[in-house]
Chain A
Amino acid sequence: MATTLVSSAGGMLAMLNESHLSLKLHALSNLNNLVDTFWPEISTSVPLIESLYEDEEFDQHQRQLAALLVSKVFYYLGELNDSLSYALGAGPLFNVSEDSDYVHTLLAKAIDEYASLKTKAAESSESVTVDPRLEAIVERMLDKCIVDGKYQQAMGTAIECRRLDKLEEAITRSDNIQGTLSYCIYVSHSFVNLREYRQEVLRLLVKVYQKLPSPDYLSICQCLMFLDEPEGVASILEKLLRSENKDDALLAFQIAFDLVENEHQAFLLNVRDRLAPPKSQSSTSTQAKPNDIGSEQNATASGPDDIQMTEGDSASVVSVPEDPSETLYAERLTKIKGILSGETSIQLTLQFLYSHNKSDLLILKTIKQSVEMRNSVCHSATIYANAIMHAGTTVDTFLRENLDWLSRATNWAKFSATAGLGVIHRGHLQQGRSLMAPYLPQGGTGGGGSPYSEGGALYALGLIHANHGEGIKQFLRDSLRSTSVEVIQHGACLGLGLASLGTADEDIYEEIKNVLYTDSAVAGEAAGISMGLLMVGTGSDKANEMLTYAHETQHEKIIRGLALGIALTVYGREEEADTLIEQMTRDQDPILRYGGMYALALAYRGTANNKAIRQLLHFAVSDVSDDVRRTAVLALGFVLYSDPEQTPRIVSLLSESYNPHVRYGAALAVGISCAGTGLSEAISLLEPLTSDVVDFVRQGALIAMAMVMVQISEASDSRVGTFRRQLEKIILDKHEDTMSKMGAILASGILDAGGRNVTIRLLSKTKHDKITAVVGLAVFSQFWYWYPLIYFISLAFSPTAFIGLNYDLKSPKFEFLSHAKPSLFEYPKPTTVPTTTSAVKLPTAVLSTSAKAKARAKKAEEQKANAEISSESASVASGTGKGKSSSEKDGDAMQVDSPVDKKSEPEPSFEILTNPARVVPAQEKFIKFMQDSRYVPVKLAPSGFVLLKDLRPSEPEQSSASAMAVDEEPQPPQPFEYTS
């Protein structure tokens, strides 16, 4: 007999109407089994079943059964809210572990509901009563995930539902606690949108980390940094430094380097000041200060070696204690303070950029020749391009070779020409002052220098000391106080802002405010920006003061400066900034609305926050002022930089707008958020814009394209080559208009920025946003109004290097593999001299020396280097540096050059890199460390500063050739004077 199936639920539904209870129960339980098939029939009887659920006469089980049945019917009807509320009524009958669509959907719904309730409760601070039954279901679900080993799922849900207790449970019960913790950090950064809540999560993580038997100090310190808790970091560092084990000290150094990478100056200073001085030496408590004092004295005495001397002093002071362990600690403390102050990394970076500089002077020469004499815009653009190309390399050959040509810069062009030196010498902390000395205002003597070059020099000092201005602040303040020339004030304000970025120093603020209140347009603009730089990310109520003044003043320039300044103060404050943003975006004055766009961009930088994006898109299409619309689109780039793939998609429509300002904004948004990624979609979006009909859109697109393509080799994307040729064509074309020509010149600069060894990076490797870089790009995007601000882009440059360091913070000889074809990541080939022009002796000609000669020179260099190690100490006189630096330069040039020589052979599939080496971001995933190497990295990082553990400490160490010069800075170039 064939199995018989029911064809209708009608019979059972009819039975529900029976008066006898057991009949109803019978019907309910049967219907519950049939509901998956017969829900359409049952749905007409839902009111009846609902009444059964509400019937007090029924016993609990029957009512729950009725609730479950109704819930299922509602689920099939798509009424999830009703379905959920009845499922809650079903109590234990709702089986969380059942594997059916119904249960899955409802669970998701329940969790959503619960999460939104909890979020609402947390936000509105008033108590929202959460249905205990709902809570029970979510808890059951979480417990089940944990028991089943689905920790990530449990963690995600727990975070979403704000159940930190469950999150902790999930982490501690997981089998791979380290892994889950790092996953959790990742999740909290990428998906937790609320800043405060994220901090709570991180605080919990730190707690969990600390409970572990072997804490992962690297991660803890990262968390603490996000939480802004310098005490915690300081105590961990101290513990590690006091350890007998050398490895712990290495770890401490590594932590310090990682923290420095995030560029949070105020935090780092805090940590540094909290590190306890060695016990037996009470006088060293002032140790953090000597630098400042030294530089203050410097202001009057001036001399290149002053600071080094004071460093030596403090070192000798520290080394007094008798107790050996204290001595050890003191020694390590000096090192770590050096690292935390950023000096060590800046010095190493500078060294790397100098030694690996591969900029192509021929490009500049071509630009220079093709640019019309009288066209001052292109003339200064060339100077900008030169500065950017050589940013941080200290190579100013081009300027020195073309003094005549340079002297054509007058007035503000002179200002930026001088400031350009600051970009070139960026990070040259020790000798910055002496380098700029010829151009600086000469106090009292009434020096003949033009105010423009003096102002520019002050700005340059700021650029050199950007974010590390401990030593120079005082001098800049003095200069600001002692002048009433607005051009100098302009430069001093910018310089001071840069040097004391984010330090929120009240005194400096007051001084700059005084400049602002003179109501001079030029100085006021810089003052506005400078106040913002000073207060970056503090969210202080100074913003309101600035806003008030912006309403009072008549000068557009000042309002604009202030608007940007206000935006800077709310950097990274997310929701906290909402009131201010609201206030600005509703202002009558378009300039303040424009500032509001920046405020949105900076407050929500890199968060990809939906609300911010929505607001920006709204302004991008609805504001009446073109400036505001342009900025709104541009701001999208900042909000989205943590997720670069998204930006081209979001702005693609805007890039086809009829409004050129919007198109320009779209181009720069892509440029900012996709900087250095070489993202194919980004390039495709920008390509048509580079030949737009409107000149300034072309300019923006060219610059943006250069930002995207920085350090991308032609081998990995052929469009890079096309773009380079396009730039050349635009520059050489006589009929091209000035705007796009300027764009092309700047683009060539950015494309080869920092001697082709830097990229634009807004996120550190730990996904923390680099405050300096973001601020730098934000101010850079102001160049629309004020060209000298172009130099701010240099703040966003970060060297693409692997720099391995040993315990003495020197680079030992260390090799590692890049498991990819060398051509993918090599430097672009130097341009060749066009046949028509007469052969000029070019600096790049050095590269064409035969391989043999190079090998010989290299060998000699290495030997020399080896000999040097033993005597390498503080006593090494800086005098030897002069003779050495030239030979070194050759050596380095050749070392880098060697892969190029191998061209004729079939290309190998890997490449051996020598510490320190250039590792471009795309290359990072191919980096492998060799198994049998003498050194083992403390942290498996493919780039940046990595501390190396020496497995054979007894053997003599070999320093890598270029690292030798760490102690010996290249000599400052001879000052040159403008002839006019």
Chain B
Amino acid sequence: MDPKLTEVSQLFERFKAAFLRKDYDTCSNLLSQLKVKLTEFRSLPPLFEDTPNAVRELTIARDIYEHAVVLSVKIEDQDAFERDFFQLKPYYTDACNKLPPSPQEYPILGLNLLRLLVQNRIAEFHTELELLSSAALENPCIKHAVELEQSFMEGAYNRVLSARQTVPHDTYVYFMDLLAKTVRDEIAGCSEKAYDYLSMNDAKQMLMFTSDKELSEYIKEDHPEWEIKNSCVFFQKAKESAPCKEIPSLQLINQTLSYARELERIV
């Protein structure tokens, strides 16, 4: 066996052990070492060279990145999630003819979809969706994300919030929590357009807050343009930003005059 590969597998074993111990700091350290080691394998994307150990190297690399993705969920780091997921993706899309499919593939893809939903990146969500085969869409992990998105789009926010109970995988819980916040943002955006003002109580109910304090803190942080007066929330300010456009009359006059002059001069 290739010494490098051995080294990587040993390191990976230690990583898995630490992962099981939930010693996430060690995990992160080991992971970054692993990633550096992986750059030395020429069989990995984007080179995909045919080395004798290609399949084994690819498998272990995929495994490492899958773990990295899960780890990023555990440590609640969305950026790391995105980074690792993108590095993992070529193993699913481009190396699928070299490797047997991974059991983790669909859960991770589902997680990614969920992440996009949380970050309200609907366009990318659909792009990802288009890339999946019809078989994949049947998978419960994917299906869950798709249904969530549908409810989200319909505005059936209660269904979204209740879906937390039916997660197909325990890693999903983190994102489901985040989703509640995304839903609140959506509602806030809609109310802003729909109402001139709302009473504090209605607003609290609508935005799913339990106390006035939470509401005012939310307003202060995310919507400083809202105003709280007479125990009502006013959205007026936000609407003022549509000034009537002035007609550039002077410019138009000048232009017309110069046309007239040019016409006179035509050869």
Residues of A within 8 A of B (CB): 1-15, 17-20, 22-23, 26, 30, 33-34, 620-622, 653-654, 657-659, 662
Contacts and interface: CB of A to CB of B under 8 A. Distances in A.
Contacts of A654: 267
B82 interface: yes
8 contacts: A10-B89, A11-B88, A14-B84, A14-B87, A22-B36, A622-B265, A653-B267, A659-B267
Contacts of A14: 82-87
Contact of A11 (B36, B46, B98): B46
Contacts of B265: 621-622
A700 B103 CA distance: 92
Contact of B39 (A1, A3, A22): A22
A6 B43 CA distance: 12
Contacts of A19: 32
B47 interface: yes
B137 interface: no
B161 to A, nearest CB: 31
Contacts of A2: 97
Interface string B19-55: 0000000000000100110010000011110100000
Contacts of B267: 620-621, 653-654, 657-659, 662
A8 B98 contact: no
B249 to A, nearest CB: 27
Given A20-B35, A22-B36, A8 B87 contact: no
Contacts of A23: 32, 35-36, 39
B48 A26 contact: no
Interface residues of B, number: 27
Contacts of B266: 621
Contacts of A621: 265-267
Contact of A13 (B32, B48, B86, B88): B86
Contact of B46 (A1, A20, A30, A653): A30
A11 B88 CA distance: 7
A864 to B, nearest CB: 64
A815 B121 CA distance: 91
Contact of B87 (A7, A11, A34, A658): A11
B39 A11 contact: no
A620 B86 CA distance: 64
A620 to B, nearest CB: 8
A7 B90 contact: yes
A659 B36 CA distance: 79
B89 A8 contact: yes
A22 B36 CA distance: 7
Contacts of B95: 4
B90 A11 contact: yes
B45 to A, nearest CB: 6
A14 B46 CA distance: 13
A4 B36 contact: no
Contacts of A12: 46
Contact of A6 (B46, B79, B82, B88): B46
Contacts of B46: 6, 9, 11-12, 30, 33-34
Contact of B97 (A4, A17, A30): A4
B241 interface: no
B134 interface: no
Given A8-B93, A653-B267, A1 B98 contact: yes
Given A18-B35, A34-B46, A5 B94 contact: yes
A653 B97 CA distance: 66
Given A5-B94, A12-B46, A657-B267, A26 B39 contact: yes
A44 to B, nearest CB: 12
Given A1-B97, A22-B36, A22-B39, A6 B45 contact: yes
Contacts of B84: 14
A165 to B, nearest CB: 46
Given A11-B88, A26-B39, 19 more contacts: A4-B48, A5-B94, A6-B46, A6-B94, A7-B93, A10-B89, A10-B90, A11-B45, A14-B85, A15-B87, A23-B32, A23-B36, A23-B39, A30-B46, A33-B46, A34-B46, A620-B267, A621-B265, A658-B267
Contacts of B89: 8, 10-11
A402 B32 CA distance: 112
A17 B78 CA distance: 13
A30 B83 contact: no
A30 B47 CA distance: 8
A5 B90 contact: no
A26 B38 CA distance: 10
Q: Which of B79, B85, B90, B267 has the most CB of A within 10 A?
A: B267
B63 to A, nearest CB: 16
Nearest first, the 3 A-B pairs at minimum CB distance are: A14-B86, A4-B48, A26-B39
A684 to B, nearest CB: 20
Contact of B36 (A8, A9, A13, A20): A20
A625 to B, nearest CB: 13
Interface string B238-267: 000000000000000000000000000111
A10 B124 CA distance: 13
A26 B82 CA distance: 19
Interface string B60-82: 00000000000000000001001
A20 B28 CA distance: 12
Contact of A7 (B36, B50, B94, B98): B94
B216 to A, nearest CB: 36
Interface string B83-127: 111111110011101100000000000000000000000000000
A123 to B, nearest CB: 32
Nearest to B83: A14
A662 B265 CA distance: 12
A6 B48 contact: yes
B94 to A, nearest CB: 6
Contacts of B87: 11, 14-15
B233 to A, nearest CB: 37
A978 to B, nearest CB: 48
A33 B48 CA distance: 13
A2 B94 CA distance: 11
Given A4-B48, A11-B87, A12-B46, A20 B32 contact: yes
Contacts of B97: 1-2, 4
A626 to B, nearest CB: 13
B83 A18 contact: yes
A12 B88 CA distance: 10
A212 to B, nearest CB: 53
A624 B35 CA distance: 78
Nearest to B43: A4
A7 B90 CA distance: 8
Contact of A3 (B35, B48, B79, B86): B48
Contacts of A659: 267
B83 A17 contact: yes
A22 B35 CA distance: 10
B108 to A, nearest CB: 14
A608 to B, nearest CB: 21
Nearest to A38: B46
User: Counting chain A CB atoms within 10 Å of each CB, which of B46, B85, B87 scores highest?
Assistant: B46
A23 B33 CA distance: 10
B83 A15 contact: yes
A360 B85 CA distance: 96
B32 A11 contact: no
Contacts of B86: 10-11, 13-14
A713 B98 CA distance: 80
B162 to A, nearest CB: 34
Contacts of B88: 11
B232 to A, nearest CB: 43
Contacts of B35: 18, 20, 23
B64 to A, nearest CB: 13
Nearest to A27: B39
A848 to B, nearest CB: 53
A11 B84 CA distance: 8
B234 to A, nearest CB: 38
Interface string B220-238: 0000000000000000000
